[in-house]
Amino acid sequence: MAVAVAAAALLSGTGTAHADTSAAAGHAVPGAVRTLSGPAVPGVDVSNWTGEIDWVGVAEGGVAFAFVYASEGLDYTNEHFEAQYGGAAEAGLLRGAYHFAQPHESGGAEQADFFIDNGGGWTPDGRTLPGVLDVEDNPYNNRNGLNNCYGLSKQKMTAWIGDFTRRYRQRTGRDAIIYTTTSWWRTCTGDSPGFGRNPLWLARWGAEPGELPASWTRHTFWQSADKGRGLPGGQNSFNGTLSQLKLLAKPRSAVKAAGRVSGNTYTVTVANTTGTTVTAVKVSGRTFGGQNIARAGKGCTFSGTAVRCTIARLAPGAKTKLTIVTRPARTAAKTRGLKVTVGTVNLTLTAKAR
């Protein structure tokens, strides 16, 4: 991963992430080796070191996505971020931002806030990927005198990453992508298994991704080289199809819904799964099997076989129940039930045959 620092700081090498080359060096470690499970979609990652970019040329070269360096620690931002991030979008690429962690400088939540406030937030526009937390070897050990784990114990590092990812989810409703190497994760978190909900962007320069950290059974992105021929920045691939990549950029439903049936009574439970309050949640339903709506709860209107409800407000993590009672037809149908739509969630509740 290309990282940026203040002008006075000195970087070793080219200022790129230290890829996990342990397998190439012959150091065998336990764990499953994971390879690409399908067609790979190419992408790049860029930073202030990359400078001005011909994004139209990048898109014409077959690249589908880009990650752009946004921030580091609590006091550094990429001066080229707006041009790079906006340019990628204008050229038709999916794009996301990344934050280079400095875990010894502040708490994880504080750095998540800094990242979000400086370009790392998420927009439900269908072309913005979730933000990235870049955690890897300390490149400034000659300056700060700390080890590759920034002087943090395994427990404190794991807690720091947890604080960052929770705050990012609370503020954006999305799970941050984690960029790391298998060797760093094992060394600095003790191979923590607790981050499987966060997509993995694995850094390992070579012909295959190799072994994965314990939190993941597959990688989502893979950085296979720090530079490529004719393309700017690091060289990456998405582990799936272009359609699957686009799904990662699409807004997820803010609510989950579940239902049950007892006789002629249908109960729909709606839960807010995000970290922010949702308002005006629309619920619509239609019976089948010859039933009419006889009664519905607060916030609902009904007529014949159709019912519509509006949930005015749902706090983060809150649930609410809607109860709908039907009147069966004189001639009993073989199958009867209620089809419900809650936002982008569809349910079919089928009553037991009499």
- The catalytic site residues sit at 45, 134, 136
Looking at the DSSP bridge assignments, the partners of residue 236 are 43, 223
Other residues' Cβ atoms within 10 Å of the Cβ of residue 143? 13
Spatial separation of the C-alpha atoms in residues 299 and 191, rounded to whole Å: 49
> Are 245 and 127 spatial neighbours (Cβ–Cβ below 8 Å)?
no
Spatial separation of the C-alpha atoms in residues 192 and 214, rounded to whole Å: 6
Phi, psi dihedral angles at 100 (to 5 degrees): -90, 115
Spatial separation of the C-alpha atoms in residues 335 and 354, rounded to whole Å: 9
Other residues' Cβ atoms within 10 Å of the Cβ of residue 97? 26
Tokens representing residue 63 in the block: 């690249």
> Are 245 and 94 spatial neighbours (Cβ–Cβ below 8 Å)?
yes
Other residues' Cβ atoms within 10 Å of the Cβ of residue 298? 11
Residue with tokens 């760093």: 184
Amino acid letter at 245? L
What's CA 333's distance to the chain center, in Å? 45
Work out the burial of residue 235: count CB atoms within 10 Å of its CB; fewer than 13 is exposed, 13-18 middle, 19 or more buried: buried
CA nearest 245: which of 130, 106, 88? 130
